[in-house]
């Protein structure tokens, strides 16, 4: 039995200034999908107003950051925590 798995690649771009980051929007780019797996790349810019909309994770997932960084996560109750991202180290 195959367990559906969503693989999420975060490209966390760090720039010298927020002017560049503010000109870009955080977004997702579909990479591949079939009945067993979904792969997409999520680009998150470091500006405080660059957020992904609230969403649910229906399946297991793996997060792989392409750069080191700190990801702020706010749940639907408003509780915030931070996830430390280490380049090319999977987080399951």
Domain ranges of the chain: 5-85
Weakest-pLDDT range from 14-23, 46-55, 65-74: 14-23
Q: What is the pTM of this model?
A: 0.53
Check pLDDT > 60 for residue 26: yes
Q: What is the 3-state secondary structure (H, E, C) of the chain?
A: CCCCEEEEEEEECCCCCHHHHHCCCCEEEEEEECCCEEEEEEEECCCCCCCCCCCCCCCEEEEEECCCEEEEEECCCCCEEEEEECCCCCEC
Check pLDDT > 50 for residue 37: yes
Weakest-pLDDT range from 46-50, 77-81, 84-88: 46-50
């Amino acid at each position: 039995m195959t367990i559906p798995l969503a693989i999420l690649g975060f490209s966390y771009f760090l720039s010298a200034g927020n002017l560049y980051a503010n000109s870009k929007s955080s977004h997702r780019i579909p990479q591949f999908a079939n009945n067993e797996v979904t792969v997409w790349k999520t680009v998150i810019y470091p500006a405080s107003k660059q957020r992904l909309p609230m969403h649910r994770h229906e399946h297991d997932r793996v997060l792989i950051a392409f750069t080191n960084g700190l990801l702020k996560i706010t749940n639907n109750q408003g509780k915030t925590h931070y996830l430390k991202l280490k380049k090319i180290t999977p987080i399951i």
